Every structure is written in structure tokens, then in C-alpha cells.
Chains A and B, each alone.
Chain A
Amino acid sequence: MSAITHHVPDAILASYAAGSLPQAFAVAVASHVSLCAHCRGALEAHQAVGGVILEDTKAVAVSASLKDSILAQLDAPYTPEPVYERNGIFPGPVMEVMQRHAPRWKKLGMGVRQDILSADAHGSVRLLYIPPGQAVPDHSHNGLEMTLVLQGSFSDETGRFGVGDLEIADETVEHTPVADPGAACICLAATDARLRFNALVPRLLQPLFRI
């Protein structure tokens, strides 16, 4: 826990608290907060601000029947929402996106594997498996990329990232994450736009692998 050194920036935590963060990033942030007491405290502080604003909001009268209708439902049976718990290296929010499956790895070459957990026009969430010493193909970003380490560690031009660390890279960052020696590095990567790989072959492969 104390080993986490790369946290969620405050503006992103506020955006997550307010519910305005795109889904893919919300998965990455919720996963980091599941691992990080520091960011959990900060997130709850943002919720406190939201609570103060809620308290100060001008009241609008509710319909006369609403209260009785709710009181009448207090004992009604209901289906509780599913609870997703951590499983091994995967925090609850990742288990939710995986729908409790084990990862379904697809080879990307050079021992690198990925599992796209969700992808649509707004963004994607995937798991990356990088063998020790291996690099994620050289790439730049159209938008924002969040990478959360779940196992092992990687290093790139900006520093070293171990379990629980969250790297945030945008258009201005061109980096080559390389898995450190030891255990294979498994990361959760969330993007709001497709990554652009700089080498020719990976670019050709991009549509194929929906990176």
C-alpha cells in the first residue's frame, strides 16, 4: 500500500466524484481507489464538497404522494445489486468489467498479450500482459491514457510504476513502457481514443487488434 507513489490527480478525482469522467477512466480510477487509501480519502473529500452543494441547493417541492409511496416500499423485496470483489490481482471494478471471467489473452507479438474488456466509440479498457524486459510497442496518444499496474512493474521515460501505481499520459507524452525484470507486468489500460503505434507493422495490426 505505502509503495504506491503515482496517484490520481485531484481534477480527475473531482471529475470521478461528480460522475463526469468517461466510463473507461472511471474503471481505472475506481480500481486505483480500491488499492489506495490516500486517494480514497481524497475522493471522499470531494464527495464532501458535493454534499455541501447538495445541502445548499434550493429545495423544490416533491409531489404529495412521494413520501408515502417510498415509506410503503421500505419492506418490499428487492434484488440487491451484484457486488464485485477482488480476485487475486484484479480489484473489484476490474472484476466487474471482466464479468468475473479469467482474462482471455490474445497475442500481440513479442510475448505481449492483451484482453480487451470493453471498447466503444468513447474509449476502451483492456488488460496488458508484458513479459519481463519486454516493451509495449512505441506509441503516442490521441487522447488520454491511464495505465494501472496490477502485477509486476514497468518503467518508462517518466519513471517507475509498481503495483497500484497509475500512469496518466496524454497527447504530449510519447513513451515506451518496458516491463521490469521479475514477474510479468500486468496492467489495466484505459483510453478515450485509439492509440497510435509509431512502428509500421503495429500500425497495420491496429484495426485487427482494436488497440
Chain B
Amino acid sequence: KNDYSDETIWMLAVRDTRDRGAFAALFDHFAPRLKGFLIRGGASPQQAEEIVQDVMLTIWRKADMFDPHRAQVSAWIYQIARNRRIDIARKENRPMPEALKEEPELEPDASQILGLEQETTQLKQALAALKPEQREVIEKAYLGELTHQEISMQTGLPLGTIKSRIRLGLQRLRHELKDLTQ
């Protein structure tokens, strides 16, 4: 567990013990990045701060939805930020998949959590190795600036291993998934 990244340790402390110090650490790490990210995505600085506030409060309130077997903290926060941005920009709720609730008695699987962190690090390295033009296209896509037609023309990202890693996390939820089909 001590091998987890700081972000994961903070987020689990927020989730499991409502740790305000850990929440403050998450704020210090993510709030300025979120602001930069939202401004790059076209928000005004003031709008960006409003969304940062919404996102940080959502992190606190929905902490129990965070599952380190399936998502890095940054991925989870990315998704929350995208949703808030769309809700505000389009004035409509973004449709979300049904949430999967983890069975409470499941023990955390450290190898799965660390494996996902490793995959994400490799993904990060793969992104860093791209030519600047390529990297810019990918960034634009995930900032929401490209249509799916434009995205389908971009060069593929190496998502294979991270996909299977996340599916491993999903397999932990087999029981819930079985319920879904009944």
C-alpha cells in the first residue's frame, strides 16, 4: 500500500476516513492543473475556477464511487471535470452509464491497483514520446475539441494493455455485472 502514488493514497484517505488534510493535498495538486486544463478547453479563468470548485466538491461528496482497481485518481477527476464542463456549457445533463457499485466486503487488490498505476505510467511515457504534432492532436481530442470523425483519423494510441488492466478491475465486479443482465 505504501507503494501507491500520493494521489491514490490521498484519495483513499478522503474516501475511507474523510481526511481533510488529504483533501487539501488533492486540491493543491489538482486545482491548478484543472484550471489550466479548463482554460485550454475554452473556459474563461473565472468560469474555470467555478468548475474547479464544483469538481473538488464532487470529489469530496462522491468519494465512495472512486475505485482504484479501475481508475487512477487523475482519470476519475478528468471524467468529473468533463461532465461538469458539459453540464454548464450545454445546460443539459450529460448522460452517464449506470454506476457499478463494488461489493463492500471485497478486499483491495494491491497488485491490481499497482498494475493500473504502472500501465498509466507507461501510457504517460508513450504520450511523451509522440511527435509534438501528434501529441497535440491527442490532447485536442481529449480536451473535447475534435469530433469522432476527426478522432477516427488520428493515429491509434497504445491502449491495449491499459484496457485489459481495467477489465481486470471490472472482473472484480462480475457479480454486479451478472445482476445487470438479469
A51-B120, A66-B31 known; A26+B95 contact, CB < 8 A: yes
Determine if B104 is an interface residue (Cβ-Cβ < 8 Å). Answer: no
A194 to chain B, nearest CB (A): 19
Asked whether, in the complex, the Cβ of A11 is within 8 Å of the Cβ of B152, the reply is yes
With an 8 Å Cβ cutoff, the count of chain A residues facing the other chain is 65
| Residues from 128 to 177 in B contacting A, C-beta threshold 8 Å | 138-139, 141-149, 151-152, 154, 156-157, 159, 162-164, 166-167, 170, 173, 177
Q: Are A45 and B162 in contact (CB under 8 A)?
A: yes
> How many Å from the CB of A168 to the closest CB on chain B?
10
Query: Contacts A1-B180, A41-B170, A93-B98; is A49 near B92 (CB within 8 Å)?
Result: no
Is B166 touching A55 in the complex (CB atoms < 8 A)?
A: no
Please tell me if the beta carbons of A15 and B23 are within 8 angstroms of each other in the complex.
Answer: no
Query: With A37-B177, A51-B120, A74-B60 given, is the CB distance from A66 to B49 under 8 Å?
Result: yes
Q: Chain A residues with Cβ under 8 A from B32's Cβ?
A: 59-62
Q: B20 is contacted by which of A12, A23, A55, A74 (Cβ under 8 Å)?
A: A74
A172 at the interface (CB under 8 A from B): no
Residues of B within 8 A of A30 (CB): 95-97
Interface string of B78-100 (1 = CB under 8 A from A): 11011101100010111111111
Given A1-B180, A70-B57, A96-B93, do A44 and B71 touch, yes or no (CB 8 Å)?
Answer: yes
Chain B residues contacting A53 (CB-CB under 8 Å) are 37, 78, 127, 138-139, 142-143
- The A interface is mostly helix, strand or loop, or mixed, namely helix
- The distance in angstroms between the C-alpha atoms of A25 and B109, with both chains bound, is 35
Please tell me if the beta carbons of A15 and B151 are within 8 angstroms of each other in the complex.
yes
Query: Which chain A positions have C-beta within 8 A of B95?
Result: 23, 26-27, 30-31, 93, 96-97
Asked if residues B97 and A33 are in contact (CB atoms below 8 Å), the reply is yes
Interface membership of A135, Cβ < 8 A: no
Q: Which residues of A contact B110 (CB under 8 A)?
A: none
User: Which chain A residue has the least Cβ–Cβ distance from B157?
Assistant: A49
B166 touches A23 (CB 8 A): no
List CB contacts (< 8 Å) of A46-66 with chain B.
46-63, 66
Name the residue in A40, A83, A84, A96 with the highest tally of chain B Cβ atoms < 10 Å from its Cβ: A40
Known contacts A60-B32, A63-B49; is-contact A48 B142 (Cβ 8 Å): no
Q: Quick one: given A26-B95, A40-B97, are A50 and B163 in contact (CB under 8 Å)?
A: no
Kindly state whether residue B12 has any CB partner on chain A within 8 Å: no
Q: Which A-chain residue is minimally distant from B89 (CB atoms)?
A: A19
- Whether, in the assembled complex, B70 has its beta carbon less than 8 Å from a beta carbon of chain A, the answer is yes
Contacting pair B170 A37 (CB below 8 A): yes
Closest 3 CB pairs of A and B: A51-B74, A51-B75, A59-B32
* B residues apposed to A, CB below 8 Å: 20, 23-24, 27-28, 30-37, 39-40, 45, 48-49, 52-53, 56-57, 60-61, 70-79, 81-83, 85-86, 90, 92-100, 119-120, 123-124, 127, 138-139, 141-149, 151-152, 154, 156-157, 159, 162-164, 166-167, 170, 173, 177-178, 180-181
A residues apposed to B, CB below 8 Å: 1, 9-12, 14-15, 17-21, 23, 26-27, 30-31, 33-35, 37-38, 40-63, 66-67, 69-71, 73-74, 78, 80-81, 83-86, 91-93, 96-97
Q: List 27 A-B contacts (CB under 8 A).
A: A1-B177, A9-B152, A11-B154, A19-B94, A34-B97, A35-B180, A40-B97, A41-B163, A41-B164, A47-B71, A48-B74, A48-B75, A48-B166, A50-B79, A50-B82, A51-B78, A52-B124, A54-B78, A59-B35, A61-B32, A62-B52, A63-B49, A66-B53, A69-B53, A84-B98, A93-B97, A97-B95
